[in-house]
Structure 1
């Protein structure tokens, strides 16, 4: 990466960091407590043009790369917004990817400017309760009709569905085969029609400000113009969203870990026990130092993956490695912050318990650590498939 690129990233880091920090820790504590969507925060980033970071300029965006977006997500999480703030913005970053690369010109001109301005909120409908991490076994089906499709099925852990106007929906349009299990799935970018889609919110451990939902789809009519790319190739298009998702999740987790580390470090300096600050004890200092090292290493891997993506080079192994390392380092930093604060870590006024709850999620989502190891062991090391 050139020095000019580094300067550009520094400018973005400063601008987005300053904007995110206008929304303090108490703002996020209240949003988490009341389970309220952070619309004020989203609108502030929309006003700055940041929601369209990766949308091309001809469609109303900034035309930036994944590297810039990854830096922005890091700064949002590191500001104390954590996963709640990062999730509220990153759904404008990775879900539009398949539309940008494979959508029709009419689709892009109609919807991408609305996404970039924050006037259109998307949901991402892939996961199903009976398929788990094996996307090839989804059972939501789209049947051909005159001039369109009729969709029936169920989705789970769908973010934003309480408020989203449209959904990027994956459905089977032809049966699964053992020879080519990922063929025969089609992506639709269509209305989240509440008359045909029942949306039920899931009560969960963390990130309460951002809703997660079950969807029950009953005879949803989808016109042909809502098909993204070619029928039957939807899973391959998803990769244009999934690798960026892993990368921005990694940098957000690093940012979240750094937010926790900052609080823990200050506490270790200020808290006096047995007539000395607890940070003078290596049992406290060394775990925090170790977390700093791991967060820094994870960030470097994630930014390398983002750079590969921006240069249109293969980045699957690096994107998955970034997600693995970012999730591990982020959660470990939050857990160590809990340990450093001791009993006070349970007090919401210190905020680290929210960071801990939010960071734990990303060890199992959007892909589990075990599935990352499966990918690396088979695709990179060439070992026999174990699943």
Structure 2
């Protein structure tokens, strides 16, 4: 399926294809991991190592890495299709999705030497870059106020002390992308200055006792952790780009992240909707299918419409990103609309299944728990609305 959309009188972009062959290939991998596999992982708070390895071996997680660095060099729309299809198949993309987009900061802002050193290993899975150290316990969304400090000692080393939280998959990563302050906030003209991005060797720093990773017992099996750094050493050669410009580098990658996560939302919503529709057709109460009742049918119908609209916004944001156009508003709105659409699909599936929705064997409660996260992370609904109000509508800044 191909098409185009005019975003303004002067800008027209192709929406891109649907990649049916790519979808089929992803489905074949997902077919090896039925619902029982995911229920077992959920019960043990375990990581889907085999599933992630199969995705890596198939080249799916290296989709956005150019061929010259060992990847498949596909556009953002193709990567979105991969993640959407994983979730629409009943599997869970989140344990692997960061391998796709975290490397974007390295790809766009790293040196040629850094790219050749790390990107081929990320593409083939020999280097696992799944951890993203940004959020802190006391700052949350106010990233510029983060307290993790990186001080340069001599010419060869930065010494880092601080704490990160909600750093998913750190226990299943070799490297972490870390945002730290290199210049105190009271010594910069703009609070967004003085932040720098580093690649951290997690295994080395753990072995040296300078870094601790502690799992967080959470509502969903997201393999999330908190990280403590005490005089952690990072080689100066692991600084990405210029010192002090890290905030801009991180923002540069967030649009891609939001498009990809929004596509995951759409995939989850479609899986939940499919389950809800099937149950509404089969379940009979008072001598008729419950789907004949408008109270059951209408929420499912509304969820379908919302998911279709969210999917179109995801496509437009991905098209603008690939065309090098400003896609901030579209990426944020794609995330907002998709997170709400999949939540409405989850609610409809829960209500349609009634009491059986709480039985783990139906998998509805597991997905219901998982999709609630989307309205909070990787950016909350309120932060999206604040962005649109200020940047799109021109209203006064609210924070």
TM-score range, shorter chain: over 0.9
The one-character-per-residue Cα deviations of 1:286-333 (angstroms, maximum 9, x if unpaired) are 110100000010011011101111111111000000000010001110
Matches within 5 A, 1:329-344: 329-344=341-356
Cα drift, residue 211 of structure 1: 0.9
Q: What does residue 346 of structure 1 align with?
A: 358
1:180 to 167, 190, 207: 190
Contact 1:17–1:72 (Cα < 8 Å) also in 2: no
2:102 to 70, 89, 95: 95
In the alignment, structure 2 segments of 5+ residues that lack a partner are 5-13
2:337 to 322, 325, 342: 325
1:35 to 30, 45, 54: 45
**Structure 2 CA distance for partners of 1:7 and 1:305, relative to 1, 3 Å:** closer
Higher normalized contact order (CA 8 Å, seq sep 6+, divided by chain length): 1
Matches within 5 A, 1:262-341: 262-341=274-353
In 2, distance between residues paired with 1:215 and 1:30? 26
In 2, distance between residues paired with 1:172 and 1:17? 42
User: Is 1:170–2:179 an aligned residue pair?
Assistant: yes
In 2, distance between residues paired with 1:46 and 1:341? 35
Contact 1:42–1:118 (Cα < 8 Å) also in 2: no
Contact 1:298–1:322 (Cα < 8 Å) also in 2: yes
SS in 2 for 1:189: strand
Contact 1:45–1:51 (Cα < 8 Å) also in 2: yes
In 2, distance between residues paired with 1:94 and 1:283? 40
Q: Structure 1 runs of 4+ off > 4 angstroms?
A: 1-8
1:191 to 193, 201, 204: 201
User: Is 1:53–2:60 an aligned residue pair?
Assistant: no
The one-character-per-residue Cα deviations of 1:249-276 (angstroms, maximum 9, x if unpaired) are 1110111011111111111111000000
Q: Number of aligned residue pairs: give it.
A: 382
TM-score (structure 2 length as normaliser): 0.93
User: Is 1:106–2:113 an aligned residue pair?
Assistant: yes
Contact 1:102–1:237 (Cα < 8 Å) also in 2: yes
Q: What does residue 117 of structure 1 align with?
A: 124
SS in 1 for 2:226: strand
In 2, distance between residues paired with 1:7 and 1:292? 21
User: Is 1:78–2:92 an aligned residue pair?
Assistant: no
SS in 1 for 2:314: helix
TM-score (structure 1 length as normaliser): 0.96
In 2, distance between residues paired with 1:35 and 1:159? 13
Q: RMSD across aligned C-alpha pairs, in angstroms?
A: 1.5
